[in-house]
Amino acid sequence: MAAPQNYLAVIKVIGVGGGGVNAINRMIEVGLKGVEFIAINTDAQALLMSDADVKLDVGRELTRGLGAGANPAVGRKAAEDHREEIEEVLKGADMVFVTAGEGGGTGTGGAPVVANIARSLGALTIGVVTRPFTFEGRRRANQAEDGIAELREEVDTLIVIPNDRLLSISDRQVSVLDAFKSADQVLLSGVQGITDLITTPGLINLDFADVKSVMSEAGSALMGIGSARGDDRAVAAAEMAISSPLLEASIDGARGVLLSISGGSDLGLFEINEAAQLVSEAAHPEANIIFGAVIDDALGDEVRVTVIAAGFDGGQPPARRENVLGAGAGSAAKREEPAPSRPAETSRPASGIGTVPPREREEQAPAPVQAEAAPVTELPNTQSSPPHVPPARPYDSQAEELDVPDFLK
């Protein structure tokens, strides 16, 4: 008689390096169910403090258990030296999350190696990593960018959480300890938002194949989290998720969206519909939206919405390029909003995009005024400051009002 088979998806969460191990410790503490936790580190002392199901101290000969010294090359070599051991603990996984804090040594250098092994075994591989805080220094920031670029090549989907964005949603009195804890909490939300769709029987249920259809070879992904109570709570939570400070770009153009809505047993069908409609309108018109609703009475009257958007043309969210140029549609819209308020205050500032065209038109009119400025230059002759007059002429077209008082003085 054939032995009964387990048809549940096997999900493994691998924390690589100090930041990654801290993140999975947080997930274990909260009680994330249905997944196996694996801690990989070059720091033996940090591994001892982890409650992960499997602990793997890599680079034993290379680092003697003392860490990678914030050197990604050491972290990479340590992971490569123990490739067979990593492969052994990843075998049988349908889905592998690789989580790390980018910028250090083991996580930055080792995560791409772990992801490469997981993908070679046929597992759907998702990277969930943090970009370091600015106060951690320029070197860590540069190492993080290189590590993120390497990891992106080795995973199906990569979610990058910028730690600096956490400051915009934190109190000014927040401690460093709490700041890093909140980073771990966001990593938890990213993993939980996906795994709950698969492992938790829901009101509207999803399976592993649904998630795989969105996240397989999807490139960069964006994650937003929102929660709300009271009237229109589902819509408010959805709005919060798609405009989350954690999003480095807009979800516009996403061809694959995972939408998870969690609430108590009083969660209404129309609430779910309105929230889903809001998210679908923000994504690509032909987006594949995988949607799940989970009933959790522990939430009370709170509704939580997690949105993970992927499948952008070119693999990158288009808004990210717009941010670099500083002239994208999203940034233009933001700059045009304050434009009407600035003229209401004074007409002097010229930083708003909306005020630039009229000033350019004014420049065409003052062209003949520069000829009229000749008599104005006669005034300074009495003050014996002719050397300052020629350089002042180019600025007359932009700020003549300021030049005249200077001469009068």
85 assigned to some structural domain: yes
Q: Are 14 and 38 spatial neighbours (Cβ–Cβ below 8 Å)?
A: yes
36 assigned to some structural domain: yes
For 325, the 3-state DSSP assignment is helix
Last residue in a domain, options 177, 199, 221: 199
3 assigned to some structural domain: no
280 assigned to some structural domain: no
Q: Which residues contact 303 (CB under 8 A, 6 or more apart)?
A: 227, 228, 229, 233, 234, 237, 261, 262, 263, 267, 271, 275
For 275, the 3-state DSSP assignment is helix
320 assigned to some structural domain: no
186 assigned to some structural domain: yes
Mean pLDDT of 154-172: 85
372 assigned to some structural domain: yes
Looking up tokens 């069908």 gives 269
Q: What is the total count of domains within the chain?
A: 2
Residue 178 structural domain? 11-199
Query: What pLDDT shows up at residue 116?
Result: 96
Question: Which residues are known binding-site members for GTP?
Answer: 18-22, 105-107, 136, 140, 184
Indicate whether this model's pTM tops 0.95. no
Last residue in a domain, options 199, 220, 253: 199
- The CATH number assigned to the domain holding 124 equals 3.40.50.1440
126 assigned to some structural domain: yes
User: Which amino acid is residue 45, in one-letter code?
Assistant: Q
Last residue in a domain, options 165, 199, 233: 199
Question: Which residues are known binding-site members?
Answer: 18-22, 105-107, 136, 140, 184
Instruction: Tell me the C-alpha distance between 334 and 342, whole Å.
Output: 14
Per-residue pLDDT at 155 exceeds 90:
yes
Mean pLDDT of 111-124: 96
Cβ-based neighbour number of residue 305 at 10 Å:
31
- pLDDT category at 123 given cuts 50, 70, 90 is very high
Residues 56-92: pLDDT tens digits? 999 888 888 788 888 999 999 999 999 999 999 999 9
